[in-house]
């Protein structure tokens, strides 16, 4: 009985220590990537290629999702607002929800599932097939050649994707609110224009998506780089990318939102 409790406790302890250790390792990895970034900036074509793979190829899923999210927002928003007789505020509601929260957050979650998993699996397999070792033996740093370009591509793509998400979301909201429900188009746009603040809403949304871009890309890269060189190792790493990115995005979102609202 006692030994069972002890083994559960030591199991928990091991997991905690292991998580802390991995967290520390990932922070160190992050600084490593920053140090090697100079080298990869000199070959910008590598980063541009990765922007295509992470950013451009994520476009479809992000735009389609944004369209649906915008339409649902308008439906739900109208349903509530019309009870208080302020259905013209629908434009404000859709725009603010998207720009402040849903744009950055949902984009980051989709990004983790679409691009993050691809990054982890690719780098994990490169390690498993000794491609990274081979690079090292050719006196080429895998961090500079493989990791850093992907990192900057992710950090660069995320805010753009989030901005597109918000734009398409607003469009979806408009299509539901104005042609479908019959809200006045002038009211829809003018109230939105009057209430969305550049500094408070748009800049804050961009800050969020940059932070999410750093977090999601970094997690995906670290998990791939750190994956045990086996099929099972890579598959677990891919799962961890999605789980950890999602938790990181939601947690960071809460922290940042509280600072932004108080400030």
Partner 1 sequence: MSDNIVEIDNLSFGYKTRLLHKGINMQFPRGKVVAIMGGSGSGKTTLLRLIGGQLKPSGGEVRVAGQVVHKQDRKGLQKLRRKMGMLFQQGALFTDLSVYENVAFPIREHTDLPESMIRDLVMMKLNAVGLRGARDLKATELSGGMARRVALARAVALDPAIIMYDEPFAGLDPISMAVICNLIRKLNDALGATSIIVTHDVQEVFAFADYVYFVADGVVAAEGAPEDLRKSELPFVHQFVHGEVDGPVPFHYRAPDYRQDILRSANV
Interface with partner 1 (CB under 8 A): 125-126, 129-131, 133-134, 136-140, 145
Q: How far is the CB of 124 from partner 1 (least distance, A)?
A: 13
Which one, 126 or 234, has the nearer CB to partner 1? 126
CB atoms within 10 A of CB 111: 29
| Collapsed DSSP state (helix, strand, coil) of residue 156 | helix
Find, among 160, 130, 158, the residue nearest to 215 by Cα.
Answer: 158
| Cα–Cα distance measured from residue 13 to residue 34, given in angstroms and rounded to the nearest whole number | 32
In the complex, what is the shortest distance from the CB of residue 228 to partner 1, in angstroms, rounded to a whole number? 14
Distance between CA atoms of residues 194 and 191, nearest Å: 5
What is the nearest approach in angstroms of partner 1 to the Cβ of residue 3? 19
Shortest CB 142 distance to partner 1, Å = 11
For the CB of residue 202, give the shortest distance to partner 1 in the complex, in Å.
37
Residue 207 near residue 158, CB atoms below 8 Å: no
Nearer to partner 1 by Cβ, of 163 and 227: the residue is: 227
CA of residue 106 relative to chain centroid, distance:
8
Q: How far apart are CA 221 and CA 85, in angstroms?
A: 50
**Which C-beta is closer to partner 1: that of 136 or that of 253?**
136
Which of 12, 35 has the CB closer to partner 1? 35
Q: How far apart are CA 49 and CA 227, in angstroms?
A: 24
Closer residue to partner 1, CB minimum distance, 35 or 261: 35
């Amino acid at each position: 009985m006692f030994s069972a409790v002890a083994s559960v406790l030591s199991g928990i302890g091991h997991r905690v220590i292991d998580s802390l250790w991995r967290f520390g390792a990932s922070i160190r990895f992050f600084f490593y990537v920053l140090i090697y970034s100079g080298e990869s900036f000199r070959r910008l074509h590598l980063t541009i290629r990765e922007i295509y793979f992470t950013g451009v190829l994520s476009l479809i899923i992000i735009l389609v999702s944004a369209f649906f999210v915008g339409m649902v927002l308008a439906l739900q928003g109208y349903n509530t607002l019309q009870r208080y007789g302020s259905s013209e505020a629908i434009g404000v509601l859709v725009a603010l929800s998207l720009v402040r929260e849903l744009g950055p957050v949902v984009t980051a979650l989709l990004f983790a599932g679409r691009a993050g998993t691809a990054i982890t699996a690719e780098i994990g397999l490169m390690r498993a097939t000794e491609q990274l070792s081979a690079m090292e033996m050719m006196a080429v740093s895998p961090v500079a050649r493989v990791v850093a370009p992907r990192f900057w591509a992710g950090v660069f793509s995320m805010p753009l994707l989030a901005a597109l998400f918000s734009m398409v979301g607003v469009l979806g909201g408009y299509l539901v609110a104005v042609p479908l429900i019959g809200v006045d188009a002038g009211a829809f746009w003018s109230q939105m224009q009057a209430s969305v603040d550049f500094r408070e809403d748009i800049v804050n949304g961009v800050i969020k998506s940059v932070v999410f871009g750093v977090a999601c890309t970094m997690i995906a890269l670290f998990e791939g780089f750190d994956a045990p060189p086996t099929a099972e190792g890579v598959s677990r790493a891919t799962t961890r990318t999605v789980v950890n990115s999602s938790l990181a995005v939601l947690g960071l979102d809460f922290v940042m939102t509280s600072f932004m609202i108080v400030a």
